[in-house]
Amino acid sequence: MRVRPAAYLRTTLPLDLSVLGELDSGRYHSIWMPDHMVSFWPDSIWTPEFTDLATVSPSPHRHLDGMAVAAAAAVLTQNVPLVTSVVDTVRRHPSLLAQSALTIDHLAAGRFILGLGSGETENTVPYGFDFAAPVSRFEEALRVIRLLWDGDGPVDFDGRFYRLRHARLDTEPYGGRLPPIWIGGSGPRTLDIVGRYADGWWPTGAWSPEDYAEKLSAVRRSADKAGRDPSAITPCFIQVCLVGRDDAALAEILEAPLVKSFLLQVSAEVLRKAGLQHPMGENWRGYQDIDPAVLTRERIVEFLDQVEPEMILAMVPHGTPQHVARIIKDYVDAGLRVPKIMDYGAMAGLRYTAQSAQNVRDVEDELMTLCGDVS
């Protein structure tokens, strides 16, 4: 398949659906819609003291339901595929996911892709959901979805997490084609699950082109072992980067508290491989340990004081749009085909937020030029 970028539709307030016309114009491979209860940004630093973004939004957690927004986007677009990135299998029962996916796919006339993941602490534990054994629960949820989609009549199932008794889902798929399932994940067990179940994949962390290639190879080995076509799994990635129009802008971006806070999403193990110590301690697990409501101001200020620019720079592509595009091209050479370029420089403040959309378009344009006829 040809290399084409994906677009992101924000599912936070204020919701702007007016951009859908532009995103449906043919430029993008697909539109991805996140599904969260809360964001990664700690409440304690979402204040004007730390960021002027807090002067225009009272909270970083004004999230809307990703599946509902996908349904709205389905009737407001005509061409581009729509992807949830990602819905977890903890907060929603797989039977409801199976039905909702078919529903949205009918609204979208066959353009919906069900993006799934095993979940995150911050979106589950505060709400009383059982987050034990999330990967095992995830795999079982996939089995239930497939049983309901593929079953001819009532389905019985006795699992560790789910039980079905004479359960049926007689809604036929749009055009006789089931919605594809894309999976987000990076752990060894999840990569194996991707190969056995998924039609598309993006890692929750790939910190170099070599890391991406290694994970993609694991997915393809699993697919081949399961008797599936490895090349039929679409390789994607949400490519976090920092785009600065010049060195001075990049240096200023790197000092912004919310940009520094990106490091909370990175595990100590990953940072250690880059020869650096994580400010949150040697056992920090990255996004799985984030609970934005309980990370106190004191703890975050201590963390911010210890974050050095090289820690961020070691984790994400950075520089001018042209330079960032060249780095992402290395991921393309490693197998990536659908990149979503996410400029975290937008979190440096209102001034940089205003420039970020153009930065991303410039990276996309340069990347497409570099890729040429890569397929």
User: Whole domain around residue 153: which residue ranges?
Assistant: 6-246+317-371
Backbone angles phi, psi at 238, to 5 degrees: -85, 100
> Residue 35: pLDDT above 80?
yes
pLDDT score at 291: 86
> Residue 375: pLDDT above 80?
no
By three-state DSSP, how is residue 241 classified?
A: strand
> Residue 331: pLDDT above 80?
yes
Does residue 56 belong to any structural domain of this protein? yes
Does residue 35 belong to any structural domain of this protein? yes
> Residue 183: pLDDT above 80?
yes
Does residue 107 belong to any structural domain of this protein? yes
Does residue 264 belong to any structural domain of this protein? no
Residues in the chain: 375
> Residue 373: pLDDT above 80?
no
pLDDT score at 95: 98
pLDDT score at 101: 98
pLDDT score at 148: 98
Range 209-232 average pLDDT:
98
Q: CA–CA separation, 316 vs 194, rounded Å? A: 24
Q: Half-sphere exposure of 261 toward its Cβ, with a 13 Å CA cutoff?
A: 24
Range 124-131 average pLDDT:
93
Q: CA–CA separation, 318 vs 307, rounded Å? A: 17
Range 68-95 average pLDDT:
98
Confidence of residue 234 (pLDDT cuts 50, 70, 90): very high
Range 265-274 average pLDDT:
94
Range 324-332 average pLDDT:
97
Does residue 338 belong to any structural domain of this protein? yes
> Residue 224: pLDDT above 90?
yes
Number of domains in the chain: 1
Confidence of residue 207 (pLDDT cuts 50, 70, 90): confident
By three-state DSSP, how is residue 293 classified?
A: coil
CA nearest neighbour of 36 among 260, 290, 243, 257: 290
Does residue 126 belong to any structural domain of this protein? yes
Range 235-243 average pLDDT:
97
pLDDT score at 275: 96
Q: CA–CA separation, 23 vs 31, rounded Å? A: 7
Token reading at 339: 């990149």
Range 67-82 average pLDDT:
98
Range 312-325 average pLDDT:
96
Range 226-241 average pLDDT:
97
Q: What is the CATH number of the domain that holds 69?
A: 3.20.20.30
Quote the DSSP letter at residue 46: -
Q: CA–CA separation, 221 vs 219, rounded Å? A: 6
Confidence of residue 132 (pLDDT cuts 50, 70, 90): very high
pTM here is 0.96
Q: At CA 12, angle to CA 10 and CA 15, rounded to 5?
A: 75
Residue with tokens 């520094």: 260
Range 90-112 average pLDDT:
98
Range 292-300 average pLDDT:
90
Does residue 172 belong to any structural domain of this protein? yes
> Residue 97: pLDDT above 80?
yes
Confidence of residue 308 (pLDDT cuts 50, 70, 90): very high
Distance of CA 207 to the CA centre of its chain: 14
Range 208-235 average pLDDT:
97
pLDDT score at 374: 83
Q: CA–CA separation, 217 vs 194, rounded Å? A: 11
Range 239-244 average pLDDT:
96
CB atoms within 10 A of CB 209: 18
Does residue 252 belong to any structural domain of this protein? no
